[in-house]
Chain A
Amino acid sequence: MSNVFIAFQANEESRPIVDAILADNPQATAVHSPGLVKIDCPQRLVIKRESIEEQIGRSFDLQQLHINLVTLSGNIDEDDDQLTLSWTH
């Protein structure tokens, strides 16, 4: 089974995003390396705006995650409420 992944700069702004991803994707694993957090997940990984908002306690524009986004792999399905990475077409 192939993984999708997404990596963020390791900083205060991406922490709640990473926490939200790990909470929403039980199979996801985070690998911390200097300055970087890479999250691997088999087949499919979803980032939900609502979960990030729960983490930070205020509203969040999903586009803000691009500020700290380093790299990703997988096909992207994105709207205002979620961003999904997967290998399905």
Chain B
Amino acid sequence: MTTIDLQQREIKPLRNTFDHVARLIGGDKPASRYQEATLGAQPTANFHYRPTWEPQYELFDASRSAIKLADWYVLRDPRQYYYATWTMARSRQQEAVETNYQFVDSRKLLGKLPDDVRAHACQVLMPLRHVAWAGNMNNCFIAAYGYGTALTAAATFHSMDHLGVAQYLTRLGLALDEPGVLEAGKNDWLSDPRWQVLRRHVEDMLVLKDPMEIFVAQNLALDGLLYPLIYGAFIDDHLATRGGTSIALLTGFMPEWHDESARWVDAVTKTAAAESPENKALITGWAKAWGNRAMAALTPVAEIALGSAGQAALAAVRADYNARCKKAGLEA
């Protein structure tokens, strides 16, 4: 009689990760999927042609930014997003939003909104679709012209997130009112004098050329002031106490996403600023200048949203922004 002896045999891999990843994580050790998807992926050599529209640069060129880093892979994303983790996280959030929409629909909560709250929400939120779209464009620019996959991959995700925010705002508008409400928001964005400062600010950012300056102007300064003002002070504190809790439910993604992505924005800012006094001075200057411009642009918006309480709310948001910049190692 024969017996079959089943034995466990361990097969050791000859190497734990790719050489180009091993070089960046300090030797051959098991690397995370994020590291393998990100590190060493930036094309660095053998570019045949220079861009015809900007022959002073290579196709991928770190000198497009005034920020200088010895190794652009230091700008890691603390959330460790690569395609799979990012899509899974957003898919979970999308399901939560769907659940909220079903809850609001099944109980006909939007029909019970006071008319003034409905109109006020549309008046403030609909023009912001265009701001979110600009955020999408600006992060596309960072992804296209920035350097280092660690930064550009995360910027791609961030640009799609901005598009998602614009879509959520559109969906909210269509749920609250007739489709004409989107058109009305666009008209305000194009011609209401109270929105023109913000529009000018946004359009000035759209023509910036330095990917890191855009990063600071859009992701740190404008979003850092706009999101707490609109989704904190306006929706959670103002509308929700006046019968607009269903609007807070339907926009729940935005503040959650802003808090999550702020960790990435802060990490990039902090790491880039810590590399050299020159970087720190540049980023500090941008954070201040674009922060001041965003404040000026949001002043009339805060007034539309919160009336006479707008200025105090904006000042509180600015104080938080200054604290955040300081924590990221920028000068006061």
Contact = CB atoms under 8 A, between A and B. Distances in A.
Physical interaction between A and B = yes
Interface of A: 12, 15, 33-34, 56-59
Interface in B1-27: 8, 10-11
Given A33-B10, A34-B8, A12 B263 contact: no
A76 B30 CA distance: 30
Contacts of B8: 33-34
Interface stretch (B75-83, B127-135, B247-255): B75-83
Nearest to B30: A15
Q: Chain B: interface secondary structure?
A: loop
Contacts of B89: 58
A22 B77 CA distance: 23
Contacts of B77: 57
Interface in B31-54: 32-33
B260 A12 contact: no
Contacts of A59: 260
A59 B85 CA distance: 13
Contact of B260 (A33, A34, A58): A58
Interface residues of B, number: 13
B224 to A, nearest CB: 19
B121 to A, nearest CB: 28
A8 to B, nearest CB: 14
B263 A57 contact: yes
Given A34-B10, A34-B11, A58-B260, A15 B32 contact: yes
B10 A56 contact: no
16 contacts: A12-B32, A12-B33, A15-B30, A15-B32, A33-B10, A34-B10, A34-B11, A56-B79, A56-B80, A57-B77, A57-B78, A57-B80, A57-B263, A58-B79, A58-B89, A59-B260
Nearest to A10: B30
Contacts of B263: 57-58
A15 B30 CA distance: 10
Contact of B79 (A15, A33, A34, A57): A57
A21 to B, nearest CB: 16
A48 B7 CA distance: 36
Give me the 8 closest cross-chain CB pairs, A-B, nearest first.
A57-B78, A57-B79, A58-B79, A34-B10, A12-B33, A57-B80, A56-B80, A58-B260
Given A56-B79, A58-B263, 11 more contacts: A12-B32, A12-B33, A15-B30, A15-B32, A33-B10, A34-B10, A34-B11, A57-B80, A57-B263, A58-B89, A59-B260
A58 B8 CA distance: 37
Contacts of B10: 33-34
Interface string B240-271: 00000000000000000000100100000000
B36 to A, nearest CB: 10
Contacts of B32: 12, 15
Question: Which one of A12, A56, A57, A59 has the greatest number of beta carbons of chain B within 10 Å?
Answer: A57
A38 B77 CA distance: 29
A54 B80 CA distance: 11
Contacts of A15: 30, 32
A2 B196 CA distance: 71
